[in-house]
Structure 1
Amino acid sequence: MSMIFIGGSCEIFELPEPAIARIGAMVAAEHCVLIGDAPGADAETQSLLAGYGYEHVGVFHAGKEPRYNLGDWAAYHVPSPEGAHGYRFHAAKDREMARRADFGMMVWDGASPGTAANVLRLAIANKPCVIYDLARGSMATTYNVQDWCAMLRHAGPDILRRAEARMKPDERLALPG
């Protein structure tokens, strides 16, 4: 049974049909799903998994309680650094899901630097990640940092700068040149 980190942009409130089909295949294969507690893609995926009555789900959260845990699944609290706010408050749980996962699947709006950073975390560890890029209407798989760089070429320099701002120094060191 593989562990799959599913995530995506907070601005996505409807999963694309191919992502829904892939999640159905994960359920059929009884893979473990690691998911955050954010609104948007996380909550939409949780809703789908809860509708299946699926049990092999772990919800990772930084706050005292998950913001969303629609299937009443096991919840894993990952504390944030003291004084962390905004995306820094949630980054530790994202890093933990990437660390535990064997694979990833992200639903990306083409602009979310947090989703881009999660793909990079998987790429640094050479863990495949399927990305549904809603801005471009495409699907791609990253296997390594070079693939991640190719994914970001289409996003523009502002998204790259914002993604880099979310990275720890060791994550930035993994980037080429």
Structure 2
Amino acid sequence: MAMVFIGGSRDIVDLPEPAIERISSIVSHEHGVLIGDAPGADAEVQGVLAGYGYEHVGVFHAGKEPRHNLGDWAAYHVPPPPGARGFAVHAVKDREMARRADYGLMIWDGASPGTFLNVLRLALVASPCVVYDTMRGRVATTYNIADWRAMLDHVGTDVARQVIARMTPDEREVLAA
């Protein structure tokens, strides 16, 4: 069974129709789904999966309990490092989902640095990722770091700066290579 890391921006409350169709395809092919517990895209995707009564889902969370687990699926606690704050609380969980994934599906608002970093994390482990960019109305697939860099060239300097600021030293090293 292939594992698909599905994620997206917290500001997304309506999934684009092509993303819903892709989720339907994931269900019909009985792929496993790795998903976070955040509001926004994560919760919306969980709602779609719960609507199907889909069982092959794992919800990853950094807190004691998942913020959202709409299908009462298996929950995987990935604790943050001591003293972590803000985005860093959830970054370890996101890296773990990327590490376990064969593929990715990201529903991105065109600005969220966390979602865009998850695309990089998938590229780092050579897992293809379909990205629905709701801001630009585009769909792209990244297969490698070169594809991710090409996307980075088009996100704008403010988003790029935020993405780079949130990277680990290992992730930054990829950009220098």
Deviation string for 1:121-161 (max 9, x for gaps)?
01111210000001110100001111111112221111111
Counterpart in the other structure of 1:62: 62
Q: Distance in 2 between matches of 1:41 and 1:59?
A: 13
TM-score (norm 1): 0.98
Partner deviation per Cα, 1:40-98 (whole Å, 9 max, x = no partner): 00000000000000000000000000000000000000010111111000000000000
Q: What is the alpha-carbon distance in structure 2 between the residues aligned to residue 126 and residue 2 of structure 1?
A: 14
How far apart in 1 are the matches of 2:53 and 2:74? Answer: 14
1:176 positional shift: 4.2
Within 5 A, what are the aligned runs for 1:24-63?
24-63=24-63
Measured in 1, the distance between the counterparts of 2:123 and 2:54 equals: 27
How far apart, CA to CA, are the structure 1 residues paired with 2:134 and 2:152? 14
Residue pairs, 1:1-177, within 5 angstroms: 1-176=1-176
Structure 2 length normalisation: TM-score?
A: 0.98
Question: After TM superposition, what 4+ stretches of structure 1 lie above 2 angstroms from structure 2?
Answer: none
| Amino acid in the other structure paired with 1:82 | P
Describe the SS at the equivalent of 2:15. Answer: coil
Give the 3-state SS of the residue equivalent to 1:170 in structure 2: helix
Q: Which amino acid aligns with 1:93?
A: K
Secondary structure in structure 1 of the residue aligned to 2:87: helix
SS in 2 for 1:174: helix
Number of matched pairs: 177
Q: 1:164: how far off?
A: 1.2
How far apart in 1 are the matches of 2:158 and 2:124? 21
Structure 2: gaps spanning 5 or more residues: none
Aligned-residue sequence identity (percent) comes to: 69
Moved more, 112-121 or 153-162: 153-162
- State the Cα distance separating 1:103 from its structure 2 match: 0.5
